[in-house]
Amino acid sequence: MVRNGSVESPSPRPRIHQTHPHDTPLFQSTVSQSNLRRFNYWILLFRLSAFCFSLSAAVFMLTTNVAHHDHDDDSISPPRWYHFGAFRFVFAANSIVAIYSLFEIGASVWEIYSNCTVFPEFSQVWFDFGHDQVFAYLLLSAGSTGTELARQLRGVDTCTVNNAFCIQSDIALALGFVGFLSVLISSLLSGYRVVCFMIKGSRFVH
């Protein structure tokens, strides 16, 4: 019964619809347990996707400057990704989201196997939702900024001189946008959990 979480953590509102934990009938508990488990599998799936895509975006951006040493004899020195503020922003945002997603994957797996949240329930649902929201906006902002820079670079002949650089940064941007979509869906799911918690005083979805 302690695992329900409603005993451990204070609720921000009075729980109108909630029965006393010791009165909960067994069938409702097992139904909501299995619903929560299915819900957690979905969240885990999108966290995995966010991790893979944002990590690959960061790695693609990071390796963009390595492959062009054969251009050193050109009069124009080859561009490096870290010469451009927008690309640094893309790299930083995707790295942060990759680290955060790794942590959240751990938290999800822990919750699926032990039925407890890592932090107290109240902190956990708000932590997840708040970070998902912020990181979704962060990734979109980084992606848009990087895309505008990539468009500008096409205008000023950087891409005709060094086309591989532009293609590789385009791929990194595209991967970042897919990562953004994953974080966006995670944020909708964790937002649903937050409102469930606000209304019913427990993270269990019915």
The correct pick among 64, 145, 186, 202 for binding its own copies (CB under 8 A) is 145
For the bound state, the minimum distance from the C-beta of residue 106 to its own copies, rounded and expressed in Å, comes to 26
Is residue 154 a contact point for its own copies (CB under 8 A)? no
From residue 13 to residue 52, the character string flagging contacts with its own copies as x (rule: CB under 8 A) and all else as - is x--xx-----------------------------------
| Least separation in angstroms between CB 151 and its own copies | 7
Binding mask 90-129 for its own copies (x = CB under 8 A): ----------------------------------------
**Please, which residues have CB within 8 angstroms of residue 67's CB and are 6 or more apart in sequence?**
164, 168
Q: Which of 44, 57, 61, 86 binds its own copies (CB under 8 A)?
A: 86
Does position 196 bind its own copies by CB under 8 A?
yes
Count residues binding its own copies (CB under 8 A): 26
Question: Could you list the residues that contact its own copies (CB under 8 A)?
Answer: 13, 16-17, 85-86, 137, 140-145, 147-149, 151-152, 184, 191-192, 195-196, 198-200, 206
